[in-house]
Amino acid sequence: MTATALALLARRLLTALPIMLIVAALVFTVLRLLPADPLGMSLPPNASQADVAAMRAEMGFDRPIAAQFAIWLRHLAEGDLGTSIHFRRRVVTMILTALPTTLELVAAGLVLGIALGIVCGMAMFAWRGTLREQLVELGSTLVMSVPEFLWAILLILGIGVGLGLLPFIGRIDPQVTVPATTGFLLVDSLIALRPAAFLSVLAHLALPALALALALAPLIMRVLRSSLIDTYLEDYITLARLRGIGERRILWRHALKNAALPTLSLIGVQAGFMFGGTLLVEVIYAYPGLGSLMVDAVRNHDLPLIQGIALTDCVIVLAVNTSVDILYLVLNPKLRKQ
Amino acid sequence: MPPLLRRVLTEPRAVIGGVILLLVLFVALLAPALAPHDPAEQDLLRTLLPPAWLPGGDWDFPLGTDSLGRCTLSQLIFGARVAMIVAIAAASGAAILGTILALLAGYFGGAVDWLISRAVDIWMSFPPVVLSLIFMVGLGAGLANVILAIVIVDWTRFCRIVRSEVLAVAKRDYVPAARLVGFSHLQIIVKEILPAVTPLLLTLISIEMGIAVIVEAILSFVGLSVEPNVPAWGVMIADARQYMYQAEWGLILPVLGIFVTVLGANLLGDGLRRSLDPRLVRRVAA
């Protein structure tokens, strides 16, 4: 089993490189279509033509696209993604600072969304053929028609401003501090043994994570329900019933394990997409993550920063897909033999 | 009435979703006649008004005004235009591009299939919202560019699913039979395979309309969609967010506009899938 998993991992890594290269080239070319001058915002309005030309030459924008891309790749190989035009800071540093924030948020959103989805999916299956099932399904259709960033706004209006229950600006109360060790504030506050900080981080995480979870849960719920229905049509379930195994045991020991596989591949795809979903959620909750950084970069036409974040997103999605595929392989005995 | 159409019309989800979308379309088409004000007209003496039925409201502005004293109802009505244009044009564009590539990949197989499938893989290795954002940076603002960006990003949603359907259809007996009778490849694709994947395609187009409305709102929110003087729901949300403590209705109403439109698209898609997908019909019967 491990041998197959390792072979898959190796194959995935081999195909990931060309994909990343093509994505990087694609993004690079698209960004150079830009009608506006990316330097427009970083020069004073009274700059002379010579100043502009000098700056373009300094940034390398006067060369052909292929040459610019080659330079960018050579720097990438040295672990350098260039310098942000707008912030005048190294792109690698900026991304590494923002990344833990986004990873923490997405992880919380995933855990919450998967838990909600599984509970509702099993409830829907248990209530199949009843009015309750119809109601849950109607509810899920309504929930699904609100995208993440609108959930973010509605949750702020209802729970943040309306009820005043949870904070909705930033990652932590401004008067609480945590020494930065990993960048994951939940982990850092635990390491520093500061329960007050931990609770503050958790409270700040609640609403944005819920906004992400509400977009994911209905999808999981539906796929889990329909694969449970499919699984119960299989002969081995009937066989288990004939052998006198209790319904509860059939569900937990036999059906759920098999029904989980389609749900798992759905989660794989959606987990990657969630890094797109955090974009506006982070902006709305003033979360200093990769999404906020990307929106800032896009608003300022900050090409090196956009390019760097785009590559990071691609690496993350490929990593998520690969991990899910390996998990799938480990869980599914049919695939293991091939 | 053809039996398929009757099946769709007796599926409540499809009917309700279709009616909602038609209503939004109707509002968008008749916007100049329906809106009480010019959506750009400012009344700086009456800013951030609540809806008329609330204390402080004014029946001149049935749903209140924004921070510049613009009529919220008129902006919502004109915002439906951007939403519907993008929904219809982007969904059809993505469907056409994705389906053509899916037909080529699924029918011819081999190198064509390999190339198209790898392109899908590359597109899928990227969160779609981020990709459309990058395209908008490259293309610049404007309605046509929003539509183009959504088409270039979302054709994969069609291509992936339709391709596997084409693969299944191409194996059925009547396709080789048509070859034997002397049909050309083009005739087979257009006359035999395309009709077989049409029900699936209709479902996907309907769902994609909702996705397109959401993507446009996201791009508007960031300020990367239509030109600044065009009223759009996403722009309204971004503006109203700054005043949410004083005027929460300005935020709730455009959110509601997006919700209702996307709900209509999702219900229609769900209803079409239930009434048209033969596998699902069989399973419900079983």
Q: Give the per-residue pLDDT at A40.
A: 57
Q: Does residue A117 have a pLDDT over 60? A: yes
Chain B residues whose CB is inside 8 A of the A85 CB are none
What is the band of A336 on the pLDDT scale with cuts at 50, 70, 90? Answer: low
Q: Give the per-residue pLDDT at A42.
A: 61
For range B66-84, the mean pLDDT: 93
Q: Does residue B284 have a pLDDT over 60? A: no
Share of chain B above pLDDT 70, in %: 97
Pair of tokens at residue B105: 């990949």
Share of chain A above pLDDT 70, in %: 93
Q: Give the per-residue pLDDT at A57.
A: 73
| Run of H or E residues at B136 | helix B128-139
For range B48-62, the mean pLDDT: 86
d(CA A126, CA A196): 40
Count the neighbouring beta carbons within 10 Å of the beta carbon of residue A244. 6
Q: Which of A330, A329, A322 is nearest to A17 (CA)?
A: A322
Min distance A177 CA to chain B CA atoms (Å)? 28
Pair of tokens at residue B104: 């080529």
Model confidence over A256-279: pLDDT tens digits? 888 888 888 889 888 888 888 899
CA triple A42-B130-A100, angle to 5 deg: 85
Strands (E), chain A: none
Range with the poorest average pLDDT among A46-60, A83-97, A212-226, B21-35:
A46-60
Q: How many residues does chain B have?
A: 286
Q: At what angle do helices B72-108 and B249-276 cross, to 10 degrees?
A: 30
Mean pLDDT taken over chain B: 90
Between chains, do A313 and B128 touch, taking CB under 8 Å as contact?
no
Q: Give the per-residue pLDDT at A239.
A: 86
Chain A residues whose CB is inside 8 A of the B128 CB are 273, 276
- For residue A92, which amino acid is it? V
d(CA B246, CA B254): 16
- For residue B270, which amino acid is it? D
Select the more confidently predicted residue: B1 or B283. B1
Mean pLDDT taken over chain A: 86
Q: Give the per-residue pLDDT at B271.
A: 92
Model confidence over B187-230: pLDDT tens digits? 999 888 998 899 899 999 999 999 999 999 999 999 888 887 88
Min distance B211 CA to chain A CA atoms (Å)? 9
Of A20, A30, A294, the CB nearest to B138: A30
d(CA A27, CA A181): 33
A63 φ/ψ angles, rounded to the nearest 5 degrees = -90, 165
SS3 content of chain B, % helix, strand, coil (to 5): 75, 0, 25
Pair of tokens at residue A47: 């700059």
Q: Give the per-residue pLDDT at A39.
A: 61
Distances, alpha carbon A167 to alpha carbons A183, A199, A215, A284, A286, in Å? 20, 11, 21, 12, 11
A99 φ/ψ angles, rounded to the nearest 5 degrees = -55, -50
Q: Give the per-residue pLDDT at B286.
A: 37
Map residue B45 onto helix, strand or coil: coil
Q: Give the per-residue pLDDT at A296.
A: 93
d(CA A36, CA A236): 64
Q: Give the per-residue pLDDT at B153.
A: 94
Q: Does residue B155 have a pLDDT over 90? A: yes
Select the more confidently predicted residue: A145 or A52. A145
Q: Give the per-residue pLDDT at B283.
A: 47
Strand partners, B61: B58
Pair of tokens at residue B49: 């008004």
d(CA B139, CA B122): 20
A81 φ/ψ angles, rounded to the nearest 5 degrees = -105, 15
Which site among B118, B120, B129, B156 would you substitute to test the A interface, given the most A Cβ atoms closer than 10 Å to its Cβ? B129
> Which residue shows structure tokens 């990087």?
A24
Distances, alpha carbon B230 to alpha carbons A289, A331, B78, B143, in Å? 30, 52, 8, 9
Of A153, A277, A318, the CB nearest to B237: A153
Range with the poorest average pLDDT among A29-43, A123-137, B11-25:
A29-43
CB contact A36 to B (< 8 Å): yes
Between chains, do A298 and B133 touch, taking CB under 8 Å as contact?
yes
